[in-house]
Amino acid sequence: MKIVITGGVAGGATAAARIRRLDEQAKITVFERSGFISYANCGLPYYIGDVITDADDLTLQTPEGFFSRFRIDMKVRHEVTAIHPERKTVSVRNLETGQEFEESYDKLLLSPGARPTTPSLPGTDLKQLFTLRTVEDTLRIKDYINTHRPKTAVLAGGGFIGLELAENLQELGMDVTIIQRPRQLMNPFDADMAAFIHASMRRHGVKLALGHTVEGFEEADGRVKVLLKDEEPLHADLVVLAIGVTPDTHLAKNAGLELGIRDSILVNERMETSVPDIYAVGDAIQVKHYVTGHDALISLAGPANKQGRIAADNICGGDSRYRGSLGTSVIKVFDMTAAVTGINETAAKKAGLDIEKVVLSPMSHAGYYPGGKAMTMKVIFEKKTFRLLGAQIVGYEGVDKRIDVLAAAICAGMTAIQLKDLDLAYAPPYSSAKDPVNMAGFMAENIARGVLKQFHPEDVNGLPRDGSVTLLDVRTKEEYRLGHIDGFRNIPVDELRERMNEIEQEKPVYLICQSGLRSYIAARILAGRGFETYNFSGGFRFYDAVTNDKCLIESVTMCGMDR
């Protein structure tokens, strides 16, 4: 059997190696248009920032090493220019010699990936303007930095690449601005959780110009003038477009393969396309979202590797199936970690789901062991069934561990209540006896039993201030003095029983503390005396982060940015 694979990075390289392990006799040829195979896209920004210092470390394999181990022909700098399903061949161009030839196949696997989205704007061809997707892109940016020593950089786009590159350029001493049309970074997160990411970026000196539209680029005195809609332009020594990626599917389209959203390649659970004996994997394909079942584009290395393995199994006569993508991901934001899995609240509501959420701020490990830091965790679930839909966590140590547990729980079909039953590892340096994931489960159970009723940041402004309800802040007097929500009066939780006569029995009581724990205790004290109580989800720490970020975005001017 003769297998041809287009694309030798995550999905293609994984499939090639898996096919060889299943079929020692197969003839396998991989065509890769770049000069590198099996490279780590996610590591590219860290080479630019000198965290990774050896360019060889960016590639997990070489063509020579792949052939030596697997006897697979990895032909780099070879571009497949056309697919001919009717005669089961592909046209190939050797990019070094210009030679063109046809290669036949019994099975064809497409793993072309995605290309950086480049808007149709004037000036995108300037020499100071870059995209970042391949090793060659990385080397070009690094060479430009080493040669020209830029002092200022503008990054158009606030996704994974934009944030990672911003951190690395900032660490090199550049003045960095991220600019984008959406009013928040990292769209997989809800705006309230993205507030913590914004705060970390600003705290480390990265300027955020959110809600602004780039209209083009011009060269001015050796620099780039970034033209903005209804704003004065920015000036930078270096500009990187990081506004997302687009499935690279022109070959599939020209060959008549059925396409999906944004011209992605349509495949079934076996990674088969609409044309017999042609398979596709990776960033170029349309997938089903694991939670909603809706069509989606999810460009992540983990799914691409799994899809490559599944395609290889089926090419070799097996019957492997892809169950869908969950979108689990994690990112380093300077000293902080942010992670997400499943769908966020915004996506859940767009999908028409009736949802509930819990927000908590647990410590990364036992409070009595030194060095613990708070994380903020948001867990989304269906209101009636308590089916887990997604989670977001922002914090420091232990964020990656908890998001992986929650991702596994979603895949296992667990409810939010069942999180309380998970038997998770505990030792003081790593966790608490009641792990944060367990705590989310306890909160969900309290909601199910009617023990806990909540209100959220979006509800605060709508609370009446006419005395028809009681608004109560149960933190200490000092905490209250340092900042509180207008209309909330202060009775510390430890004084509540003795000051019960200050609270009118017939009025609902809305309670807040720093994290949500003391106010929950206060709610139970009051409920035990017959009061109707509502606890603020996430506490004042969460409210303060969300509202301060909202005010910053709404009032931001460009005056602090380089002109």
Split at pLDDT 50, 70, 90, the class of 260 is very high
* pLDDT over threshold 80, residue 435: yes
pLDDT of amino acid 55: 81
Is pLDDT of 54 > 90?
no
| Residue 411 appears among annotated catalytic residues | no
pLDDT tens for 269-299 read: 999 999 999 999 999 999 999 999 999 999 9
Instruction: Give the span between the Cα atoms of 185 and 549, in whole angstroms.
Output: 12
pLDDT at position 554, please? 64
Of 290, 10, 336, 338, the residue nearest 160 (C-alpha): 338
Task: Check: CB of residue 508 under 8 Å from CB of residue 482.
Answer: no
The residue that leads in pLDDT, 118 or 563, is 118
Q: Is 478 exposed, middle or buried (0-12, 13-18, 19+ CB in 10 A)?
A: exposed
pLDDT given for residue 10 in this prediction = 87
Nearest to 4 by CA among 27, 36, 34: 27
Across 407-536, where does the E strand assignment appear? 454-455, 470-473, 489-490, 509-512, 533-536
What integer pLDDT is reported at residue 555 of this predicted model?
Answer: 58
Q: Which two tokens stand for residue 485?
A: 């929500």
As a whole number, the mean pLDDT across the chain is 94
Average pLDDT over residues 299-312: 95
Per annotation, catalytic residue among 42, 316, 513, 551: 42
Measuring CA to CA, which residue among 306, 256, 263 is closest to residue 282?
306
pLDDT of residue 158: 93
Average pLDDT for residues 203-216, to the nearest whole number?
A: 95
Contacts of 167 (CB under 8 A, 6+ apart): 45, 49, 204, 206, 332, 333, 334
Residue 560 pLDDT greater than 60, yes or no: no
Q: Report pLDDT digits (tens) over 109-161.
A: 999 999 998 889 999 999 999 999 888 999 999 999 999 999 999 999 999 99
Treating both helix axes as pointing N-terminal to C-terminal, what angle do 191-203 and 539-555 enclose, rounded to 10 degrees?
70
Positive or negative, the CA dihedral 147, 150, 156, 158 is positive
For residues 224-242, one letter each, b for 16 or more C-beta atoms within 10 angstroms of the residue's C-beta and e for the rest, the string is bbbbbeebebbbbbbbbbb
540-556 residue pLDDT tens: 999 999 998 877 776 54
Residue 40 has pLDDT above 80, yes or no: no
